[in-house]
Amino acid sequence: MARSTGTLLGWLAVCCLAVVVPVSTLLVWTDPQAPRSLSERLVAVWRTSAETLRLGGITGAPLRMLLSVVLGLIALLCVSTLVGVVTTGLGDRLEELRRGRSTVLERGHAVVLGWSDQVFTVVGELVAAQSARSRGVVAVLADRDSTEMAAALHTALGATGGVRIVCRSGSPADPDALALLTPSAADSVLVMPSDDDNADLEVIRVLLALRALLGAQAGPPVVAAVRDERHLTAARLAAGPRGTVLETEATTARLLVQAARNPGLVAALRDLLDLAGAEFHVVDEPEAEGLEFGEIALRYASACPVGLLLPDGRALLTPAARTRCGPGDRLIVVAPDERPERATAPDAHVDAGVMAPADAVPGQPARFLLLGWNSRAPLVTDLLSRTVRPGSVLDVVTGPRTAPDASRLVGRPGGGRLTATHRTGELTRPEQAAGLDLFGYDCVIVLGPDAEAVSFGPDDQTLLTLLTLRSCEEEAGRPLPVVAELSDHRSRALAPLGPRSAAVVRAELTALVMARISHAPALASLFEELFASRGGALALSPATRYVLPGREASFATVVAAALGRGECAIGYRAHAPHGTDRPGDVRLAPRKSERRVWSAGDEVLVVAPPDPPVVSPGDERPSPGERRTLPGMRGEERVGTDDSPASGPPLD
């Protein structure tokens, strides 16, 4: 074999003849019906050998027999070459498929670029969105082995209901690798940030690669996420006009703050953002033009309108009840499907006699305990200082290594709203936890260290802290409101959470929002408004704020009472069952006709208007009639009976 192919063929021919000719001779000589003469027997040996070697077996003159051998060899060579070509082609194709380098020949598919822990959440939501199609496809491109990616996704997601998950290997920042997924024919493209330190720079490179491949204006909607707010502007420029870029760190911090101020909100947010049950929808309702929002809110039997999507793409959440729906406005609703059922008589189920008085109850100062420190802790403390009531307290307990950073931050003045203190301690020691007066806080926020700052898993420290808090709960026999941040979604099942505890998986909310925007791009402005750092937004309020306790009332009555307070009720959570400390799940978008006896322990999930700015002594007060808004987050509301814009009452 080392000498040449010809030498190899020669030896193969000699070996074949050395076996075939003696065996053929033996067959002829042992045949009872074989010819008697030697010449005839030699001819029979020739024919048997020629048939075995597929040489034709022509007899006669030596020249004819030689030509027969030549033709047989040529035929054998052609057939062998054809078999080799087919085998080699199939092998190369299978190897190409195994390496994930073949082109995806699909249309209307979803494309996911990059790999991180949240890819399972995103692909799972995309599979649910694609399941309505007869041939749904989700294509994933990452710089990993395609077979390993496919195995991990199928193990995590299980049965996909007919939706195919196609994985390809290559760098998402390479236009040639991007072309394998045919993004120009896709319905949506999602760019996932990795878990590396340079994740944001890689996202920007991927967005630029998409721009180079598809052009600045063409292509499907693109949804991306960055971790650091400093890279948000550059990523949005790279994404272009068809792109939506979210920030994971700030969104996680906002969710932690909202969950700390409203225990039980985490599960409700997950239910709102996933595609199971009720979620946000944008509904075209031509008949709603000219109607007041308060009237529209009671027109649907099992949907809860929360705002309007204006013709310019801005979302107007919780408009005043007298706001009229203008030309081109679309409704933003929470409903089980995209075509909500209308009510036969909008006001038939509203009982004004059981509504609670609309007395304004001032919010009370709150006390928070922050255990741990990481890169998101400054965002959490800043949001708390801007959204809590004056007189609130934040106590920070960190390990010795993070003491300097924490001390510098909590020492900043909070404008009189928030008083922050800092101490160092071992978070996993029960004796130190017992000396913190845990049950004197409205909420305990647990943060784990950054992954690059420790040699062990970032969730290990958080799990140990939760174990310590859980032991304090069991010793005191009282539930403790705890909100913990986790980095890995697999740690959620391991977290020892109490009845009033919740876990926020870092970037999971952003992954759910990305999947929802890719499915319905019109919702981008809604989520920008919903998760803006303006306070309020989603809240669980006591049911006694809307209806009298111990009285039977329909959910339509709750909706009408919430509208009178400038809020939109979208669901409720029943009080904890007898003998348990854990309340029930939030029931989203119940039927307006549903009646129940409302107790003091029930809670109503509402979309609330922005919190008014908290003015402390020494702060600059707005002049009468002046309106404070956050630019780019919430526009001017339209009130009154005409289409002309009008400013609302001053926020004081």
Rounded to the nearest 10°, the torsion over CA 617, 620, 621, 622 is -170
Confidence of residue 621 (pLDDT cuts 50, 70, 90): very low
Measured distance CA(386)–CA(368) in Å, rounded: 14
Among 517, 633, 506, 532, CA closest to 244: 517
pLDDT at residue 113 tops 90: yes
If one counts the domains in the chain, the total is 3
Structural domain boundaries enclosing 417: 367-510
For position 450, which CATH number holds?
3.40.50.720
Instruction: Give the chain's mean pLDDT.
Output: 78
Measured distance CA(567)–CA(13) in Å, rounded: 91
For tokens 């009468």, the residue is: 624
On whether the CB atoms of residues 392 and 365 are closer than 8 A, the answer is yes
Rounded to the nearest 10°, the torsion over CA 500, 505, 511, 516 is -10
Q: Using the 3D structure, point to which of 45, 61, 96 is the last residue of a domain.
A: 96
Q: Using the 3D structure, point to which of 493, 510, 527 is the last residue of a domain.
A: 510
Question: pLDDT digits over 45-94, tens only?
Answer: 767 766 666 665 555 566 656 656 665 666 667 777 778 878 877 777 66
Residues 141 and 189 in one domain: yes
Asked whether residue 303 is domain-assigned, the answer is no
What distances in angstroms separate CA 117 from CA 144, 198, 296, one per listed residue? 14, 16, 41
> Residues 402-423: what's their mean pLDDT?
68
Question: pLDDT digits over 587-603, tens only?
Answer: 888 988 889 999 988 89
The pLDDT value recorded for residue 345 is: 61
Q: State what percent of residues in the chain have pLDDT above 70.
A: 77
Question: pLDDT digits over 156-192, tens only?
Answer: 888 887 888 989 888 999 998 999 888 988 989 999 8
Residues 206 and 231 in one domain: yes
Residues 234 and 203 in one domain: yes
pLDDT at residue 528 tops 90: no
Say which residue, 537 or 124, is predicted with more confidence.
124
Asked whether residue 545 is domain-assigned, the answer is no
Residues 116 and 207 in one domain: yes
Say which residue, 590 or 342, is predicted with more confidence.
590
Say which residue, 277 or 207, is predicted with more confidence.
207
Most confident of 267-276, 389-398, 575-584: 389-398
Asked whether residue 41 is domain-assigned, the answer is yes
Q: Using the 3D structure, point to which of 221, 241, 261 is the last residue of a domain.
A: 241
Cα dihedral sign for 570, 278, 280, 381? Answer: positive
Asked whether residue 547 is domain-assigned, the answer is no
Number of C-alpha atoms within 13 angstroms, CB side, residue 165?
A: 27
Asked whether residue 34 is domain-assigned, the answer is yes
The pLDDT value recorded for residue 214 is: 86
pTM of the full structure: 0.73
What distances in angstroms separate CA 611 from CA 191, 409, 482, one per listed residue? 33, 24, 24
Asked whether residue 599 is domain-assigned, the answer is no
Residues 157 and 36 in one domain: no
